[in-house]
Amino acid sequence: MKALRGLLRKEMYHILRDRRTLVVILMLPVVQVVLFGYSIRTDVRDVRLAIVDPVPDHATLELRNRFTAAGVFEIVAVVPRTDDLDPLFQRGEVQQAIVFEPGFADKLLSGEAAGLLLISDATEPNTGSARQMYARAVLDAYERDLAAGGQSMAVRIVPQVRMRFNPTQESSNLFVPGLMAMVLTIISALMTALSITREKETGTMEALLVSPLRPVQIIVGKVAPYLVIGFISVLLVLLEARLIFHVPIEGSVSLLLFEGLLFILVSLALGILISARTSSQRVAMMAALVGTMLPNQLLSGFVFPIESLPRVLQLVSNIVPARWFVAIARGIMLKGVGLTYLWRETLILAAMAFILLALSARSFHVRLE
Amino acid sequence: MTTTTTDQLAIEVRDLTRIFGRFTAVDHISFDVRRGEVFGFLGANGAGKTTAIRMLTGLLAPSSGSARVAGHDVYTESEAIKSDIGYMSQRFSLYEDLTVRENINLYGGIYDLSDSEIRTRAHRMLDRLGLEHAAGELVGSIPLGWKQKLAFSVALLHEPQIVFLDEPTSGVDPITRRQFWELIYNAAQSGTTVLVTTHYMDEAEYCDRISIMVAGRIAAMGTPAGLKEESGVESIDELFVRLARPDGAAARGGAES
């Protein structure tokens, strides 16, 4: 115990005296939340809208007002002819256009179908269709209000899409769970692998191995501090996400933290495994990047939805720990569900932690032989 | 030959062998080291010295053969060996980002010394090395020669029966090497057995007995004086060259570069 305490203290000295690395590990997640939060947005906001209204009447003016009032659109141009739109789209001054046919109000009143064309810049298909959706919502509301006002009109049934769990379609709500997985991977897998291989490089690991310390003590002494730092990091990310982006945590916070701990254990075990098979920090870094960071980022549903991956990669994603953690974190944070719904994912993560920890302890032991 | 009983032996090695794949790094070596002896383990780089030491310190399992270190079997009692030996590798084994005192405390704790034992031994050690003033400095900031001496003293902190030194003097200047050997003598005088590997042949002269390893085997063993007399050479260096290159004499004659 005394020996272990000494080891832990020594590891804390390493971490605290390497100020730059410490700042980087603690600040990285904080900065990333801000970067992801503000720059990588799939939300629809400030859509530059053009209106083609050859013969303005009360209906078209009313709709134009409604678009402005929706808060999402900004009318940047009103032109008389459809042809005038081309240069606007080409220069990127306009992202979406609404073309009213002449006599729009009259047709509405007479019960004929009033024609309206919705044009979107689809260079980014997802945002393009999202903008369409918003525009349709404005039009639907108008139709409903007309119907409620007793206006005779042909009521079209428009399929309605409701966004559940993320009603405001905030992308920050989606990325925070994935970001936590990434941060934990960096701190747990990468930092552990680096700190163990560093001792191999400097030769101090040999000194520890010839001492009466048991392998398990050496491992615990190495990873415990990173467990703590990982935990602090999760708290920081959650706090920041909550305060700046108002990301909800619908479910139990303690369950979320417990699952985080489970995921940290998985990542730590991966870090130990990597360090057992490598002897230089450079190789360990590459192995950690390719072996843990990339799959955790690309195959966890963080960046690309798992459903949209090719079949083979979907299968591969099953062995990526982050996939399960992201599913759990999203479940707890956005849907507010508990273990009743997440027991399968939790069990898989726990099994992974158990198997990987056993493997890493074994591989560490093999190094002694 | 001196007759020795088993309990006078610090290290007893019989036919110790280590095979890596198809390469035999250590090939049936046998030797004894008496208590309090300074035993030199000589050989070129790659001759198998480090592999042999790693087996004796429990870092590496032997492929075959037997060995007892401090009376413990290397196969079955490797844990017991660990607290009876000290070890200093050719790579420096202290933490550069810890202070001198923190390093001492760390290793003292690892070897289960009490706080008061660590305090008195640290004081004595630093006093002897003349490093009292540097106790609070980071090891990374003190000169290499001092680090080397400090690493040796730290390896002796728990007063082990045997200390293994793997090329402890590589890369330090001749004066520091000289001082380092004084430390080794001091340790031997107080009863510690020293097994030291080196490829500096002049250092061989400082040892009580030496063995010269060539390609995994022990090619010669004895006292430095005895070996020189036996083979009629001026220095251990000459003997070493002759052993390491069986065609050495011919090569010298042929002015091979």
Residue B252 — very low, low, confident or very high, per pLDDT cuts 50/70/90?
Answer: very low
The pLDDT, as a whole number, for residue A121 is 77
Chain A hits for B195, CB-CB cut-off 8 Å, are none
Phi-psi region of B71 (alpha: psi -120 to 50; beta: other; left: phi over 0): left
- For B136, phi then psi, to 5°, come to -95, 5
Average per-residue pLDDT for chain B: 87
Higher pLDDT, A158 or B203: B203
Cβ atoms of residues B108 and B157 within 8 Å: yes
Residue A172 in this model has a pLDDT that exceeds 90 = no
Distance between CA atoms of residues A363 and A277, nearest Å:
8
The pLDDT, as a whole number, for residue A42 is 59
Contact B112 A2 (CB under 8 A): yes
ipTM metric: 0.85
Give the dihedral of Cα atoms A249, A252, A257, A262; nearest 10 deg: -120
* 3-state SS class at A339: helix
Residue A203 in this model has a pLDDT that exceeds 60 = yes
Contact A7 B106 (CB under 8 A): yes
The pLDDT, as a whole number, for residue A140 is 81
The pLDDT, as a whole number, for residue A85 is 84
Residue A325 — very low, low, confident or very high, per pLDDT cuts 50/70/90?
Answer: very high
Higher pLDDT, B210 or A126: B210
The pLDDT, as a whole number, for residue A171 is 61
Q: Is the whole model's pTM more than 0.80, yes or no?
A: no
Residue B215 in this model has a pLDDT that exceeds 50 = yes
The pLDDT, as a whole number, for residue B251 is 42
Compare CB distances from B83 to A14, A212, A368 and report the shortest one's residue. Answer: A212
The pLDDT, as a whole number, for residue A157 is 37
Residue A40 — very low, low, confident or very high, per pLDDT cuts 50/70/90?
Answer: low
Residue A347 — very low, low, confident or very high, per pLDDT cuts 50/70/90?
Answer: very high
Residue A246 — very low, low, confident or very high, per pLDDT cuts 50/70/90?
Answer: confident
* 3-state SS class at B93: coil
Average per-residue pLDDT for chain A: 82
Phi-psi region of B187 (alpha: psi -120 to 50; beta: other; left: phi over 0): alpha
The pLDDT, as a whole number, for residue B247 is 56
Question: Would you say domain B6-91+162-252 falls under CATH 3.30.70.100?
Answer: no
Distance between CA atoms of residues B35 and A350, nearest Å:
52
Residue B167 in this model has a pLDDT that exceeds 70 = yes
Beta bridge partners of A346: none
The pLDDT, as a whole number, for residue A163 is 43
CB pairs under 8 A between A and B: 74
Domain ranges of chain B: 6-91+162-252
Rounded to a whole number, what is the distance in Å from the CA of B82 to chain A's nearest CA?
5
Residues of B engaging A, defined by a Cβ cutoff of 8 Å: 57-61, 79, 82-83, 85, 87-98, 102, 105-112
Residue A368 in this model has a pLDDT that exceeds 80 = no
The pLDDT, as a whole number, for residue B56 is 93
The pLDDT, as a whole number, for residue B254 is 38
Per-residue pLDDT averaged across B196-220, rounded?
A: 89
For residue range A289-308, list pLDDT tens digits in order. Answer: 888 888 888 888 777 777 77
Cβ atoms of residues A247 and A176 within 8 Å: yes
- Low-confidence winner among A38-47, A208-217, A273-282, B195-204 (lowest mean pLDDT): A38-47
The pLDDT, as a whole number, for residue B113 is 92
Contact A203 B85 (CB under 8 A): no
- For A183, phi then psi, to 5°, come to -60, -45
> B98, B110, B117: which to substitute to probe chain A, counting the most A Cβ within 10 Å?
B110
Domains of chain A: 2-40+170-368 (no CATH), 47-148 (3.40.1710.10)
- In terms of Cα–Cα distance, which of B96, B99, B95 is closest to B136? B99
Distance between CA atoms of residues B35 and B6, nearest Å:
10
- In terms of Cα–Cα distance, which of B20, B16, B17 is closest to B68? B16
Distance between CA atoms of residues B161 and B69, nearest Å:
10
Per-residue pLDDT averaged across A105-115, rounded?
A: 74
Residue A125 — very low, low, confident or very high, per pLDDT cuts 50/70/90?
Answer: low
- For B27, phi then psi, to 5°, come to -120, 95
Distance between CA atoms of residues B245 and A77, nearest Å:
91
